[in-house]
Amino acid sequence: MYDYLVVGSGLTGAIFAHEARKRGKSVLVIEKRTHIGGNIYTQNINGIHVHSYGPHIFHTNNKFIWEYMNSFAEFNRFTNTPVANYKGEIYSLPFNMWTFNKMWGVITPGQAREKIELQKLEAGITTPQNLEEQAISLVGRDIYERLIKGYTEKQWGRPCSELPAFIIKRLPVRFTYDNNYYNSQYQGVPVEGYTAIIERMLDGIEVRTECDYFTHREELDGLAQNIFFTGQIDEYFGHILGTLEYRTLRFETEILTATDNYQGSAVVNYTDRETPFTRCIEHKHFYPGLETAGTVITREYSSEWREGDEPYYPVNNLKNNTMFEKYCELARRECPNVIFAGRLGEYKYYDMDAAALRALELVIQEFGKL
Ligand code: FAD
Ligand code: UDP
């Protein structure tokens, strides 16, 4: 018997398992994929840490979380400055004075604000009700149409007018010449890749990969008193209250030998509707100054999740959030010994820092203090 069965070896599960073990608890971690790490998994290809499930940049304003993560790994000074490619024209991201200058030729913040105010007025938006209205009121119609509409509709598979405003509020809008994608005080990528962090967190803990909870449910339930579950909450309950929606991704990775610098940036977003992928990442640029022969790139394609696909993004609209709340009520009523956590267990668009913080909150809830 184990004190805890941890389902999922992503960041959330790994932190909980690590902290439980530190407190003398016996822990079994199971993972349905062939490797640990969940979506932050990186693998070394030709001397480059390849982010296998999309670009992962750790960024946070929380000093405690930054130090916590740094206790498992050294981070480099990478600052995310992705560029947008709209039909062959390059724009700076996030939306800042460089973007406004390229779009309208404006020079000063005052001129940029005036332009945005005018376009917002023309659109007649007072209180933004959805992503489209939120975007136009933040950056004006021109930027919405070139840099947001196509990308967002590819990413989410829904019209911007049917998406929640909060998604676009993840990106800063700045009236300074500053291409840093994040406002966070701390930012970087682990020098040895993310997998090394998870390996350290799980050091000394029994881990079974290629083990799907649902295939061995009865046996696994009999092995532990408590379950820390980071899979899909709706799947746990056999979709009894309905199936939550997710977005899935397809990653197309290419090893290039004819060039050692394919696109000059770690991340390039293709913001038109026609290019079938959303972004292309060139992994070596996450490590400024890294010199290698050749390079590795990954194109990312987004589509609607179906049973059997990997669920990457929860679709947090009203319908799904309401269904999720009902699952939470069911969980409270029927399984007090199961903790649902992480992007899938809590159906939340958690970044790594938020996922780590939440995992530590659950540790406190379970064990009293950190
Ligand atoms: P996951 O990483 O999804 O881990 C859950 C694990 O549970 C998986 O390994 C899964 O295989 C396993 N599992 C599920 N069901 C079962 C089952 N039935 N049996 C056994 N195992 C199971 N965050 C940032 O801070 N910065 C970024 O730049 C960033 N970029 C991102 C880019 C993409 C494309 C995506 C998808 C996410 C990004 N994130 C980023 C978010 C980050 O990936 C998450 O915050 C983090 O992975 C959450 O970890 P988790 O453990 O909750 O979930
Ligand atoms: N977005 C956009 N154009 C871009 C980049 C982002 O319209 O060039 C929108 C898109 O809706 C996306 C959201 O902003 O889902 C949040 O972007 P972020 O880069 O944070 O997405 P993630 O890292 O979660 O993929």
State the CATH number of the domain containing residue 36: 3.40.50.720
Ligand 2 center to 107 CA (angstroms): 26
Mapping DSSP to helix (H, G, I), strand (E, B) and coil, where does residue 237 land? coil
Nearest to 31 by CA among 198, 222, 206, 211: 211
| Atom nearest to 269 CA in ligand 2 | 8
Mean per-residue pLDDT, 183-192: 98
How deeply is 87 buried, as exposed, middle or buried, from its count of CB atoms within 10 A (0-12, 13-18, 19+)?
exposed
327: annotated active-site residue = no
Within-domain flag for 154: yes
Within-domain flag for 278: no
| Atom nearest to 131 CA in ligand 2 | 11
174: annotated active-site residue = yes
Do 43 and 153 lie in one domain? The reply is no
Do 55 and 111 lie in one domain? The reply is no
Within-domain flag for 272: no
Looking at every residue in the chain, the average pLDDT score rounds to 97
Let me know: does 356 contact 15? Beta carbons within 8 Å. yes
Do 10 and 71 lie in one domain? The reply is yes
Catalytic residue, chosen from 21, 33, 146, 174, is 174
Q: Which of 80, 167, 281, 302 to mutate to test the pocket of ligand 2 (most atoms within 8 A of CB)?
A: 167
Ligand 2 center to 147 CA (angstroms): 10
Do 166 and 190 lie in one domain? The reply is no
Do 334 and 234 lie in one domain? The reply is yes
Please list the alpha-helical segments (H only) found in the chain. Answer: 11-22, 63-70, 97-104, 109-123, 131-139, 141-143, 149-156, 194-201, 217-221, 233-236, 318-334, 342-345, 352-367
Within-domain flag for 267: no
Pocket of ligand 2 from Cβ distances under 6 Å: 84, 93, 147-148, 151-152, 155, 167-168, 170-171, 269, 271
Within-domain flag for 209: yes
Ligand 1 proximity of 236 Cβ (cutoff 6 Å): no
Q: How far is CA 262 from CA 46, 76, 129, 179, 350, in A?
A: 16, 22, 40, 20, 30
Number of domains in the chain: 2
Do 72 and 195 lie in one domain? The reply is yes
Do 202 and 335 lie in one domain? The reply is yes
Within-domain flag for 301: no
Tokens of 254: 């290419």
Within-domain flag for 259: no
CA of 345, nearest ligand number: 1
Ligand 2 center to 156 CA (angstroms): 10
CA of 232, nearest ligand number: 1
Ligand 1 proximity of 267 Cβ (cutoff 6 Å): no
Mean per-residue pLDDT, 264-280: 98
Q: What is the CA angle 41-238-157, rounded to 5?
A: 55
Do 50 and 152 lie in one domain? The reply is no
- Among residues 139, 170, 201, the one where a domain terminates is 170
| Atom nearest to 147 CA in ligand 2 | 3
Give the phi and the psi of residue 338 in degrees, each rounded to 5.
Answer: -115, 130
Do 62 and 163 lie in one domain? The reply is no
**Per-residue pLDDT, 217:** 98
Neighbours of 314 (CB within 10 A): 22
- Show the 3-state SS of 138-203: HHCHHHHHHHHHHHHHHHHCCCHHHCCHHHHHHCCECCCCCCCCCCCCEEECECCCHHHHHHHHCC
Give the H or E element holding residue 301: strand 295-304
Range of the domain at 111: 102-170
178: annotated active-site residue = no
300: annotated active-site residue = yes
What's the pLDDT tens digit per position in 289-300? 999 999 999 999
Residue 193's pLDDT band, with cuts at 50, 70 and 90, is very high
Do 327 and 355 lie in one domain? The reply is yes
Within-domain flag for 40: yes
**Per-residue pLDDT, 370:** 82
| Atom nearest to 351 CA in ligand 2 | 24
Do 127 and 223 lie in one domain? The reply is no
Residue 305's pLDDT band, with cuts at 50, 70 and 90, is very high
**Per-residue pLDDT, 369:** 81
Do 33 and 117 lie in one domain? The reply is no
pTM of the model: 0.97
